[in-house]
Structure 1
Amino acid sequence: MRALLVVNPVATTTSLRTRDVITHALASDLKLDVATTESRGHARELARLAAQNGETELVIGLGGDGTVNEIVNGLLHEGPDPERLPRLAVVPGGSTNVFARALGLPNDAVEATGALLNAIETRRERTIGLGLASGVPGTDDAGVQPRWFTFCAGFGFDAGVVGRVEQQRERGKRSTHALYVRQVLRQFLKEQHRSQGTITLEREGEQPVEDLVLSIVCNTAPWTYLGNKPVYAAPRASFDTALDVLGLSRLTSLAVGRYGTQLLTSSPRRGPRGRHAVTLHDLKDFTLHSQAPLPFQMDGDHLGVRTSVNFTGVRRALRVIA
């Protein structure tokens, strides 16, 4: 099998020695080409070319969730076609690795490589659904290019936290869970003055859901991890269904304490609930609008601010080996 290994050289948890070990292990079983990313967006371009050359059967991402997102968007540059496109595989090298862990892979890069080689040998693969976010016609964001995501997107509070974390990383801070917790607190202090949210969720044939301050869109569960602990914002979300949404309409100290505790104690059977929590399951198409520009993130990558985003859940979009 001809494969392309896309390596992010600044991935948080892999050293040069580890990357060499992984590369040699993969090359022993595959006709392996190796490409190292040089800048943001490079992984997307490498995957796009691999999808077009007609020879590459498998693209392997060695990096974090951002690297995986770029590869997915490169593979699906011309749209989903799981029978034609190369398969995707992941070796986790980031700080959280939500997508790889949601597929059932070990969080250790070397162990995950062993599991991946076993899956290739036994031809173990599955076709998963993905989320697609695009601009809304007739709005200021109409010209925004569509972009795929693998496990989550956020509009509002959580995206603001992601943006803060990225700013700290640009200043040389390491991406740790403690860093995320600090930025959650700072984002809350910034937004707690709001009496109600500005987000409205609209879908055809249903009443709009209004005044949301936070909206998390999930393509799988868990939503994220704190160390080794999975956190479930939408426990029923799955690669085999469309999209799930968790919305919150209050950001008071009491509400943050309540729903924060529910997230920390969440499980595959129980997520956040209460009078100010909205949970929606298996949505194929919906739009989030805001009265004011809000932060937006996809797969943990801050994408600036938006006033509206259209979401589509696309089932059976891409084949993965895991």
Structure 2
Amino acid sequence: MRALVVVNPAATTTTAKMRDVLVGALASELKLDVAETTHRGHGKELGAQAAAEGIDLVVSVGGDGTVNEVVNGMLENGPSPHLPTLAVVPGGSTNVFSRALGRSRDPVEATAEILESLRAGRTRLVSLGTASASGCSAAPVSGAAPPVAAARADADADAHATDWTPPRWFVFAAGLGFDAEVIARVEARRAAGRRSTGPLYVREATTEFLLGRVRRRPAMTLHLPGEPALEELFLCLVSNVSPWTYLGARPVNPSPEASFDAGLDVFALGRMGPVRMLHTLRQALAREPLPRGRGVHRRHDLEELSLSAGRPQGWQVDGDHLGTATGLRVRHVPAALRVIA
């Protein structure tokens, strides 16, 4: 079996020693090529190359961002039974997709599980999602002061209001609004040398909630087929798996019914203050999560949805901030990719 191992050396927990151990274990049973990513988008290039060359197996070693790039490359021309099978070795900070597949959090143990599944022929098809955005701008992550960045985003949104980006695949989540703004804050801290940790996300989320205008001036509207529009939202999470993310070992689970075997789930929040937000967060962190209450909107097993915004909002897929947008179209794609089970 021919396999390509895509390693992101910049991922949070990926080290040269770990890479060598993993590659050695995989090479004992596979005809192996190894490629390290060197720039943003390189994982997508390598995934597309693997699909074009008829590689049997692609192993992503890194975080969820690495998985997303590899999958977008593999699916560049859409789903096909002739695409490589995907395996994921966790090397990031949260590794949501790997954990959703049942992989161990330890990369060496996860590699052993992958090899055992390969010997047994255990694979499965999983559903994924796609997201397209309009009114796009990358200004808010360009390093400009917030007022300058907001002005640039507004100008770009006006210039590209009717232009939709090509669909971008996501494996576990997409979002518009508050969550994307938090991710942008974390990415800025990481660019300045900070390590991605649970406390860093909590700190930046708290700052954005208390000081940011996204929550204080909700500008989003959720459009669902056959339903009235839901207006004045400041957060909208679209989930393909449960949980949505983790704080260390603790799952954050706003959409507990989300599954690879169903359509997409939505969790959206309307105007609310700190006390109600803390109550909603406690519900999502509970052992048996069931977020509900005034301003909380949940939907299960959707095939499509769209979002519009009165001003530019951050948008993200699989925890990767992609700038701002004023519109988002999201679609469910069943049986999109075969993975090692």
Settle same-fold status: TM greater than 0.5: yes
Q: Structure 2-normalised TM-score?
A: 0.90
Which of 278, 283, 286 matches 2:297?
Answer: 278
User: How far apart in 2 are the matches of 1:109 and 1:135?
Assistant: 34
Letter in 2 for 1:232: N
Secondary structure of 2:309's aligned partner: strand
| 2:300 pairs with 1:302 | no
Alignment deviations for residues 221-265 of structure 1 (CA, whole Å, 9 cap, x no partner) = 010011111111100000111110001102311221211221222
Residue 157 of structure 1 contacts residue 295 of structure 1 at CA under 8 Å; is this kept in 2? yes
Q: Name whichever of 5-14 and 170-179 sits farther off.
A: 5-14
Shift of 1:196: 5.2
| 2:230 pairs with 1:209 | yes
Q: Measured at CA, do residues 104 and 261 of structure 1 come closer, stay the same or move farther in structure 2, by a change above 3 Å?
A: same
Equivalent positions of 1:96-245 (< 5 A) are 96-135=94-133, 140=161, 142-191=163-212, 197-245=218-266
Secondary structure of 2:193's aligned partner: coil
Q: What value does the CA root-mean-square deviation take over the aligned residues?
A: 1.6
| 2:16 pairs with 1:16 | yes
Residue 141 of structure 1 contacts residue 308 of structure 1 at CA under 8 Å; is this kept in 2? no
Secondary structure of 2:280's aligned partner: helix
Q: Paired residues, what number?
A: 318
Which of 307, 326, 330 matches 1:288?
Answer: 307
Any gaps of 5 or more consecutive residues in structure 1? Answer: none
Alignment deviations for residues 56-113 of structure 1 (CA, whole Å, 9 cap, x no partner) = 01100000000000000000000112x1111110000001100000110001100100
User: How far apart in 2 are the matches of 1:148 and 1:194?
Assistant: 27
| 2:245 pairs with 1:246 | no
Matching residue of 1:57:
56
Secondary structure of 1:197's aligned partner: coil
Shift of 1:154: 1.4
Shift of 1:195: 5.2
Secondary structure of 1:80's aligned partner: coil
Shift of 1:204: 2.6
Residue 232 of structure 1 contacts residue 266 of structure 1 at CA under 8 Å; is this kept in 2? no
Letter in 1 for 2:316: Q
Shift of 1:135: 3.3
Letter in 1 for 2:132: S
Letter in 2 for 1:74: G
Matching residue of 2:48:
48
Residue 178 of structure 2 contacts residue 215 of structure 2 at CA under 8 Å; is this kept in 1? no
User: How far apart in 2 are the matches of 1:175 and 1:302?
Assistant: 14
Q: Measured at CA, do residues 26 and 211 of structure 1 come closer, stay the same or move farther in structure 2, by a change above 3 Å?
A: same
Residue 223 of structure 2 contacts residue 307 of structure 2 at CA under 8 Å; is this kept in 1? yes
Matching residue of 2:155:
none
Q: Measured at CA, do residues 112 and 201 of structure 1 come closer, stay the same or move farther in structure 2, by a change above 3 Å?
A: same
User: How far apart in 1 are the matches of 2:50 and 2:265?
Assistant: 31
Letter in 2 for 1:255: R
User: How far apart in 1 are the matches of 2:329 and 2:124?
Assistant: 27
Equivalent positions of 1:252-263 (< 5 A) are 252-263=273-284
Which of 91, 94, 112 matches 1:93?
Answer: 91
Residue 58 of structure 1 contacts residue 88 of structure 1 at CA under 8 Å; is this kept in 2? yes
Matching residue of 1:314:
333
User: How far apart in 2 are the matches of 1:39 and 1:147?
Assistant: 18
Shift of 1:191: 3.1
User: How far apart in 1 are the matches of 2:215 and 2:296?
Assistant: 17
Alignment deviations for residues 132-155 of structure 1 (CA, whole Å, 9 cap, x no partner) = 001359971623121000001111
User: How far apart in 2 are the matches of 1:231 and 1:254?
Assistant: 18
Residue 133 of structure 2 contacts residue 326 of structure 2 at CA under 8 Å; is this kept in 1? no
